[in-house]
Homo-oligomer: A and B are copies of this chain.
Amino acid sequence: MNTETRPLDRIDHEILGALQNNARLSNKELAASVGLAPSSCLERVKRLIQDGVIRGFHADVDPAALGVVLEALVFVRLGRHQPELLEGVWTQLAERPEVRDLYYVAGSHDLVVHVAVRDVEHLRWLVTEQISSRAELGQLETSLIFRHRRSAELPDYAREHAPQPRGR
């Protein structure tokens, strides 16, 4: 997606910024905030979704309300660097509900896994039974998360150089 499509203009970037902060903005409000008629604004939003620029809309829920009392980062070093091995581990980890974020990185670790668990025993089980056994002999380190903050909005480096809106 997002291939062979017209570059985003200033208004598109404003729409993306607004929807990252509040995905429930009504189309009417959104249109007003970017200076378009509702019909025109709706067209743009649909196009952004269609083109894959907007991947989805998600509610941000308090983990504590769901019984998540513990989160951790698990740093994994794989034994041998076989691309096929990585693919398998990646897929299996990505499917686990406890995994909130999965990073494949360069450097002294290979994988960084952000997990949300029920309690300490659950964490122990997850790390030893589910991760360690698949990580093929690599080093493994688990760090409890004391505090975590996630930003809603991505930086927009393309905004400044965006072309002027077309049309009338």
Which residues of A are at the interface with B, using a C-beta cutoff of 8 A? Answer: 1-2, 8, 13, 16, 19-24, 52-68, 72-73, 90, 94, 97-109, 112, 114, 116-118, 141-159
Is A61 in contact with B65, judged by CB distance below 8 angstroms? no
Question: What distance in Å separates the Cβ of A60 from its nearest Cβ neighbour in chain B?
Answer: 4
**With a CB–CB cut-off of 8 A, which chain B residues contact A103?**
73, 114, 145, 147-148
Is B58 in contact with A21, judged by CB distance below 8 angstroms? yes
Dominant SS among interface residues on chain A: mixed
Copies per complex of this chain: 2
Is A109 in contact with B52, judged by CB distance below 8 angstroms? no
Q: With A and B bound together, what is the CA distance between A123 and B24 in angstroms?
A: 33
Question: What distance in Å separates the Cβ of A86 from its nearest Cβ neighbour in chain B?
Answer: 9
Q: With A and B bound together, what is the CA distance between A142 and B141 in angstroms?
A: 17
* Other-chain residue from B62, B145, B151 in contact with A99 (beta carbon distance below 8 A): B151
Instruction: With CB as the reference atom, state the residue of chain B lying closest to A122.
Output: B157
Is A55 in contact with B60, judged by CB distance below 8 angstroms? yes
16 extra A-B contacts, CB within 8 A, seeds A66-B155, A97-B155: A2-B62, A8-B65, A23-B57, A24-B24, A53-B61, A56-B59, A58-B58, A66-B158, A68-B155, A90-B149, A98-B155, A101-B101, A103-B147, A106-B146, A108-B143, A116-B155
Is B59 in contact with A19, judged by CB distance below 8 angstroms? yes
Question: What distance in Å separates the Cβ of A143 from its nearest Cβ neighbour in chain B?
Answer: 3
